Amino acid sequence: MCMQALDWDDFINGGSAGSGVAGGATNPPAAMTIGVFDGVHRGHQSLIRRVMEHGSCPTVITFKKNPKQTLAPQTYAGDIITLNEKLIIFERMGIQRTVLIDFSEDFRRLKGREFIESLIYEGKLRFLVVGDNFRCGRHLDADAQAVKSIVAEHGIACEVVKPVMCRGERVSSSRIRAALIAGDWAKAAAFLGRDSIYPCHAPQTPPDPAF
């Protein structure tokens, strides 16, 4: 099955472009994870695998462009891989839908609760997985535990996943970027979980936390 990629507006207004059906009526119940997924590294892969294990339409919510380009352009150092490369990895991992958010002024005004409840009511969220450092909403007003509480109010499970460790460090996009800049390809590959930054190499199994 080919993965469906759709815009946020289409997602919350029906589930497919031009459906003309309001309120997410055509969206199937879904297990979701949310993030920028820069590099789709081992930590990101752990979130995706948990979504895949749940069974309901596995869905990734991500961004057309890294929000840091808008929020903190002075610290934005570029993306590890392109959006198209991310989509290839998502599809190869078995994701059925990717929802692409345009980080517009209107979207930026959404409070964390409003965003999460859009996923619940319009997106038919049935299971959510986020990392322990996840934050969302206007001024990042909702952290992972707040999000877990919001979805619990609706009888929905939210799993907050602990960081993946590799070589004694937390796997992160910033550490991978630093390794690439330093020319430490072995470290970058270990953190990415594949032999290249590019998606032609399938993700490996997660490392032991002590690796």
- Residues 19-55 have pLDDT tens digits of 444 445 689 999 999 999 999 999 999 999 999 999 7
Count the alpha carbons within 13 Å of 113 in the hemisphere toward its beta carbon.
6
> Which CATH number does the domain 4-164 belong to among 3.40.50.620, 3.40.190.10, 3.40.50.12780, 3.90.25.10?
3.40.50.620
Report the DSSP pairing between strands 4-7 and 30-34. unpaired
As a whole number, mean pLDDT of residues 47-70 equals 92
Asked whether residue 69 carries a pLDDT value surpassing 60, the answer given is yes
Reduce the secondary structure of 59-90 to three states and give it as a string.
Answer: EEEEECCCCHHHHCCCCCCCCCCCHHHHHHHH
Asked whether residue 184 carries a pLDDT value surpassing 90, the answer given is yes
Name the residue with higher pLDDT: 68 or 165.
165
Domain ranges of the chain: 4-164
Going by C-alpha positions, the residue among 47, 6, 29, 39 that lies closest to residue 144 is 47
SS3 182: coil
Range of lowest pLDDT (17-21, 50-54, 112-116, 187-191): 17-21
As a whole number, mean pLDDT of residues 63-76 equals 83
Cα–Cα distances in angstroms (integers) from residue 174 to residues 39, 41, 75, in the given order? 10, 11, 11
pLDDT band at 17 (very low <50, low <70, confident <90, very high): very low
